[in-house]
Structure 1
């Protein structure tokens, strides 16, 4: 139950609340994915699928314990020490994502915004990683897997990793077009992940 509550709070804080704050401040919708079939919008559909899939898996763990065996637990990873590491990573993830979103301020979006001009953020967390929000989400995925190690949380982590890496490359191409040499010089100094 605690894990499910945490996951709901995580989504509410880093996606819903952040989107509302941006909307109130700028009038801009942070969600940029549309219903086309291009790579960017398709990847948005993959993000939504992974999120729903994650909620279902954690919901089964929290509310239907008798079904948990169908998630194919990896029993040799089920121990209190790894669970504590997992919970620590989940908390670190929330902190990293929240700080990174705060540092992006009005430039934060969910996806690529080709309609509203933003500024290139290179300070704070972005001086350590070009993608600290995705890094934070990756940390959360690993944490989730350690808290409830099963085949489906491993699949969520794998799908999320592929989807994030695709999104990062799409965003990099956009940022090169949008900011040109400024982004290229930044990318030469700061690594993609860490």
Structure 2
């Protein structure tokens, strides 16, 4: 239930709010063959496989066993850390999205110039939304430790690393010296 709430509030509802406020669809990924849109495909597949993991655990325990649960991580204390990470990720990501306001996008809109956000949580991390997403997947892994959820953490970490670098090139081209100064003063993650 936490996962569904996270996805709905952080991605669906925030997208609707930004679209209504700005008139721009913040979901930018399409289905072309370029690297940026391929990353969007990977994000969608990661959400699908995360949902499969949760459904198998919740409703199909015999099938869940095929995901190779990691027994030594199946401890209440570790699962509580996972739940705490989900909650922290949710709040962190939501705050970052609210602070981005109309500049928030899922992907890179090469045809539009948005405001460069450098205050609030963005004074601590240049990529707080992506950081929140990675922490979210780590939380899911700690709650449901298995080979698929571990693989999803690795896939998301690598995918986010590539996405961030694509965005850095775009932001440098779009905002020039202002972004370079920001990049020099604020760390990529935290």
Structure 1 gap segments, 5+ residues each: none
Equivalent of residue 8 in structure 1, options 4, 28, 43: 4
For residues 3-152 of structure 1, what are the structure 2 equivalents within 5 Å? 5-152=1-148
- TM-score (structure 1 length as normaliser): 0.96
User: In 2, distance between residues paired with 1:190 and 1:83?
Assistant: 32
- TM-score (structure 2 length as normaliser): 0.98
User: In 1, distance between residues paired with 2:130 and 2:83?
Assistant: 18
Q: After superposition, what is the alpha-carbon deviation per residue over 1:32-87, rounded to whole angstroms, capped at 9, x for unaligned?
A: 11111111111111111111111111111111122221110110011000011110
User: In 1, distance between residues paired with 2:58 and 2:92?
Assistant: 26
Q: Give the superposed CA RMSD.
A: 0.8
Q: How many residues are paired up? A: 190
User: In 2, distance between residues paired with 1:115 and 1:28?
Assistant: 12
Q: After superposition, what is the alpha-carbon deviation per residue over 1:83-125, rounded to whole angstroms, capped at 9, x for unaligned?
A: 1111000000000000000000000000001222210000111
Q: After superposition, what is the alpha-carbon deviation per residue over 1:103-156, rounded to whole angstroms, capped at 9, x for unaligned?
A: 000000000012222100001110000000011111111111111111110000
2:168 corresponds to which residue? 172
User: In 2, distance between residues paired with 1:80 and 1:180?
Assistant: 48
Structure 2 gap segments, 5+ residues each: none
Runs of 4 or more above 4 Å deviation: none
User: In 1, distance between residues paired with 2:188 and 2:46?
Assistant: 22
